[in-house]
Amino acid sequence: MEQNSNGIMVLAEVRGGAIHPVTREMVAWGRKLAGQFSRPVTCVIIGIDPDDPEDLIRYGADRVLSVNPGFTGNSPATPTAGLFVDVIREERPAIVIAPATTSGRTLMPIAAARLNTGLTADCTDLAIDPKDGLLLQTRPAIGGNVMATIKTPNTLPQMATVRPRSIRPLQPDSARRGQVLVKTYEMPDSWPEQLLSFIRDERKEINLEEAEIVVTGGKGMKTKENFALLEDLAAALGAGLGATRAAVEAGWAPFTRQVGLTGKTVAPKVYIAAGVSGKIQHLAGMITSETIIAVNEDPEAQMVKVADLAVIGDAPAVVEKLTKALIHLKNKRKGGA
């Protein structure tokens, strides 16, 4: 698998029979890695017949490969991974990336094991080493206290799952042209898993990952009662409410609210971190936020350093005061306007 393998393959995220927008982020990563090397970026879609495959070309792909499009949308891992391995073997890419979603985190390790090559999980940054052309795969390590850069020096392809929201999609370019191809591989008659049903989560609460503004609390909120003050702040702002791992472990918030490497990744317009020290494990889940506001007692806290605006002071007191001011403004607007 040496000479003619220089392409970059990107696995499309398929959910509910359609291509999920995180795929555009993966294509943006592919484009970035292709960079100066004019390597082709191929986006592979497994098992569905996409409505608009050209969308991915407008967002930066050179080729869109639809693999066994009629097969099934929400397919079990065994046959999907089988097709994934087939297409990698035929295409011989140098690099394969996929989003670090439940699907990517299942299919990629199966494929890497079958191809006997390396895989790095949950990367937050990818680059090409100018010295040897190898993929530099960077991820938070050991509980998120440091970053590690990993290489796959001797085997191909070099594989990585990448955190959603670690890059922004490119601006779509309607003038971009590329190839849309269909590939069909032979499949076994049966496999061990059968999908019986899918129950969509219909909860109405603000989806953290899609919120325009996110308010997150950490151990600096000091007590569970203080942590509850953040609910009022989030309500006043129409924000999603997040929590650090420490706050979740303290029982102040459920795991579904956790932001960070082990939890959700967010990239809102404004991220307010109240009493959050800013361990790398947490930063990995929010560092691409457009604007970061930190409230912390400790001026040396990592979160203060990464913030655009930092308030040095007692987090619960500042949160309470800010909430009151926002409610006051809202009432005034209602009364005055």
Q: Is 142 in the site for other proteins (CB under 8 A)?
A: yes
Number of residues that bind other proteins (CB under 8 A): 96
- In angstroms, give the least distance from the CB of 41 to other proteins: 23
Measured CA to CA in angstroms, residue 84 lies from 30, 40, 100, 129, 307 at distances of 17, 18, 16, 26, 41
Q: Is 262 in the site for other proteins (CB under 8 A)?
A: yes
Q: Is 119 in the site for other proteins (CB under 8 A)?
A: yes
Closer Cβ to other proteins, 42 or 101, answer by number: 101
From candidates 152, 166, 244, 277, binder to other proteins by CB under 8 A: 152
- In angstroms, give the least distance from the CB of 169 to other proteins: 18
- In angstroms, give the least distance from the CB of 45 to other proteins: 18
Q: Which amino acid is at 85?
A: V
From candidates 145, 179, 184, 223, binder to other proteins by CB under 8 A: 145
Q: Are 76 and 14 in contact (CB under 8 A)?
A: no
Q: What is the gyration radius of the CA atoms in the chain, in angstroms?
A: 22
Instruction: Report the SS3 class of residue 238.
Output: coil
Measuring CA to CA, which residue among 144, 131, 157, 72 is closest to residue 302?
Answer: 144
Can you tell me the distance from the alpha carbon of 12 to that of 19, in angstroms, rounded to the nearest whole number?
A: 7
- Strands, E, within 12-51: which ranges? 14-15, 18-19, 41-46
From candidates 36, 116, 171, 174, binder to other proteins by CB under 8 A: 116
Question: Where in 269-308 is the site for other proteins (CB under 8 A)?
Answer: 269-270, 272, 279-281, 283, 287, 290-294, 299, 304-308
Can you tell me the distance from the alpha carbon of 270 to that of 266, in angstroms, rounded to the nearest whole number?
A: 10
Question: Where in 185-244 is the site for other proteins (CB under 8 A)?
Answer: 191-201, 212-213, 237
From candidates 11, 45, 87, 112, binder to other proteins by CB under 8 A: 112
